[in-house]
Amino acid sequence: MGQIGVARLLELIDTHVHLADVRFAADLPEVLFRARHAGVVQFVCVGYDIESSAEAIKLSSTFPDIVAAVGIHPNRSGDALPGTLRELDLLSQSHAVVAIGECGLDYYRNTEPPDVQTEAFIAQLRIAEARGLPVIVHSRDAMEQTLDLIEKFNPGRRGVLHCFDGTVADVSRAVSLGFWISAAGQVTYRRDRTLAEALASVPADRLVIETDCPYLSPAGHRGERNEPSRVRLVADAVAAIRGCSVEQLAAQTTANARRLFGKA
Average pLDDT over residues 77-98: 97
pTM confidence score: 0.94
Q: Which of 225, 223, 219 is nearest to 26 (CA)?
A: 225
- pLDDT of the residue at 48: 98
Phi, psi for 166 (deg, rounded to 5)? -115, -155
| Least trusted range by pLDDT, from 11-15, 76-80, 156-160 | 156-160
Handedness of CA 153, 113, 84, 57 (dihedral sign): negative
**Cβ–Cβ under 8 Å, residues 24 and 62:** no
Query: Percent of the chain having pLDDT more than 90?
Result: 90
- pLDDT of the residue at 257: 98
Q: Residues 146-198: pLDDT tens digits?
A: 999 999 998 777 899 999 999 999 999 999 999 999 999 999 987 779 999 99
12-261: CATH class: alpha beta
Listed in sequence order, the DSSP H helices in the chain are 28-37, 50-62, 82-91, 114-131, 143-153, 168-176, 194-200, 231-242, 246-261
Q: Residues 91-122: pLDDT tens digits?
A: 999 999 999 999 999 999 889 999 999 999 99
pLDDT band at 263; cut points 50, 70, 90 = low
pLDDT band at 3; cut points 50, 70, 90 = very low
pLDDT surpasses 90 at 9: no
Q: How many residues does the chain have?
A: 264
Domain positions in the chain are 12-261
Q: Which amino acid is at 110?
A: N
pLDDT surpasses 60 at 199: yes
- pLDDT of the residue at 192: 78
- pLDDT of the residue at 154: 85
Q: Which amino acid is at 236?
A: D
| Cis status, amide bond into 102, omega within 30 of 0 | yes
pLDDT band at 5; cut points 50, 70, 90 = very low
Question: Cα–Cα distance between 42 and 1 in angstroms, integer?
Answer: 7
Q: Which of 21, 122, 26, 7 is nearest to 74 (CA)?
A: 122
Pairing verdict, β 207-209 and 97-106: unpaired
- pLDDT of the residue at 7: 39
